[in-house]
Amino acid sequence: MDKELLKKYVIDYKQNLINDLKDSLKDLGGSGNLDDTEAKDPEDYSHIDESRDFKKILQNKLGEAEYELSRLEKLSTEPMDKPTSGALIVTDKLSFYISLATLPFIIDGKNFIGISENAPMFGVISRKKVGDKFKVGSVEYKILSIS
């Protein structure tokens, strides 16, 4: 499998999330939101506070997503012989791309999932080599290759 293609997929995945967060922030900043000078009753102030809190949450998520994107762009696509950031772990059931957490996806008819180095699953995989088995939940995987 071409790791450049996998890298592009997870970068596009993260970029789409960033675009969605930016759109949501833009919508929050629209004319439909009250500010302190327009508040007429306590309920208005409550809505203003909720809007500010939600905007702050979105801004934090956007900052995290942009940081993750910058790390993804630096991800190596060189061949690797052990599970580490940028490695592709092919098993008998599913392939794991060590990059960032993604939903399962299919490329060229093959099943993949992106996992982060911060994921508990990575802790299990990181100590394995080709031929080893590991279990996630009730599913057992056998590592066929690492690249």
pTM of the model: 0.78
Q: Each residue of 5-42: pLDDT tens digit?
A: 999 999 999 999 999 999 999 988 754 454 556 556 66
Residue 102 is encoded by which pair of tokens?
A: 């993604």
Q: Which residue has the tokens 């592709």?
A: 88
Between CA 68 and CA 49 the distance in angstroms is: 29
SS3 67: helix
Q: Each residue of 94-135: pLDDT tens digit?
A: 999 999 999 999 999 999 999 999 999 999 999 999 999 999
Between CA 75 and CA 90 the distance in angstroms is: 18
Number of other CB atoms surrounding residue 35 within 10 Å = 10
